[in-house]
Amino acid sequence: MLNRRDFLTAVAAGGSVLALPRIAMGDDTKPAKPSERTLVLLHLNGGNDGLNTVIPYKHRRYRTLRPGIALDRGRVHKVSDDLGFHPALNGFRDLWNRDRLAVINGVGYPNPNYSHFRATEIWFTAEPEKSPTYGWLGRTIDTKPSEKPLRAIALQKEQPLSLVAGSPGVVTMTDFGRFRVPSGLDEVTKLYKEYGKLEGTQGKVGQAGEQAIRVAERIARLRPADGPFYARLGQDLRKVIALLRADLGLECIQLSMGGYDTHANQSASHNRLLAELGNNLNAYQQQLERLGVADRVTTVVFSEFGRRATENLSGGTDHGSAGPVFVIGKGLNPGFHGAYPSLDDLDRENFKYTTDFRRVYASVLSHAYRMDPKPVVGAYEPLDLFAS
């Protein structure tokens, strides 16, 4: 007997992806009605310099540690009595002023790893003490079984470890057109049409398969959203908005922004990166709110590690440990969470973490997925990030 898994396996082999039958006849031009919550994860690949992103502009040690790359106090976007944003982060200042931004300070874990590869594995699995197997979001998917064939999308060529699961339903993509059902599956499609005429389980499977084909074609017709977006991140966010507007029932969308490994000449490159980050995310959040889908979307921005507190001889910073995590959306308890790492008590020029990153994940799981986070990340207490 044909079943859903057989069909999905065949489609995946052909390079296409299916989504839920319930949205097969939808209209992409209309705002989606709020349904399931979606977590959007943005990885700042390379290790973002947290000290020059969220700046303790009054601290006497800030300029001592960084005589060449410290930001002038007068240029910082001051958002509290002692902390402010990099001057390029106009978008974050605007999100902050609209209560759409929560900043978690000093996020890290014990015995930090300074290798990009291993540190990324740790953040993607939430299991620092183990060899990588399933990702933390993959375990989330496995913990919440579902008949949905499409549950998460990574906007990249290779599947990130965070989304590796024992269950099906996770795909990667860079182009909506690749969702088109391959012509080689025409016979399978016809077979499902025949099964759809039958009674009982076979009929239900056939009907679901036939509808899923139509959905796959619908996804192939999606177009990136319009808006004031620019650079690579902006192009990816246009796709994220299109996916969210289509109301596919996605539980997670992950994307990445590279360039944050700022070992030399950091000032100019970091300024450009943070401007691209803040401006695009601010426009993205405004677009979600205009479309009426913002209530069901939480966006988390993180990096695999921060940078050292001291600058190096090349006008940059080397691999560090703890750094800030940003949560964007509606329904937040906005503002700062967690203690800022001490600039006076460093560990070999590195910050000592003050908030375990698994507490951030526990908060997101409790809110976005309405689930007990313990089976996924262990007994870590959620932060008070969300008002509802």
Residue ranges covered by each domain of the chain? 36-176+224-377
Query: How many other CB atoms are found less than 10 A from the CB of residue 189?
Result: 17
Tokens 């996020």 label which residue? 107
Phi, psi of 77 (to 5 degrees): -80, 95
Q: What region, left, alpha or beta, does residue 180 occupy, with left being phi > 0 and alpha being psi -120 to 50 degrees?
A: beta
Length of the chain, please? 388
User: CA-CA distance, 19 to 149, in Å (whole number)?
Assistant: 6
Closest CA to 329 of 99, 42, 154: 99
Predicted pLDDT at 56: 98
Domain 36-176+224-377 CATH superfamily: Alkaline Phosphatase, subunit A (3.40.720.10)
pLDDT tens by residue, 236-276 = 999 999 999 998 889 999 999 999 999 999 999 999 999 99
User: CA-CA distance, 276 to 268, in Å (whole number)?
Assistant: 13
User: CA-CA distance, 272 to 48, in Å (whole number)?
Assistant: 13
Residue 117: exposure state from Cβ atoms within 10 A (0-12, 13-18, ≥19): exposed
Q: How far apart are the first and last CA of the chain?
A: 45
Query: How many other CB atoms are found less than 10 A from the CB of residue 230?
Result: 13
Per-residue pLDDT of the chain (388 residues; tens, 9 = 90+): 445 444 444 444 444 444 333 333 334 434 434 357 999 999 999 999 999 999 999 999 999 999 999 999 999 999 999 999 999 999 999 999 999 999 999 999 999 999 999 999 999 999 999 988 999 999 999 999 887 778 899 999 999 999 999 988 888 989 998 877 666 666 666 776 676 777 777 676 676 676 667 667 777 889 999 999 999 999 999 999 999 999 888 999 999 999 999 999 999 999 999 999 999 999 999 999 999 999 999 999 999 999 999 999 999 999 999 999 999 999 999 999 999 999 999 999 999 999 999 999 999 999 999 999 999 999 999 999 999 7
What is the value of pTM for the model shown? Answer: 0.89
Predicted pLDDT at 150: 83
pLDDT tens by residue, 286-302 = 999 999 999 999 999 99
User: CA-CA distance, 76 to 72, in Å (whole number)?
Assistant: 7
User: CA-CA distance, 105 to 124, in Å (whole number)?
Assistant: 19
Residue-by-residue DSSP string for 62-93: HHHH-TTTPPPGGGSEE-SSS-EE-TT-HHHH
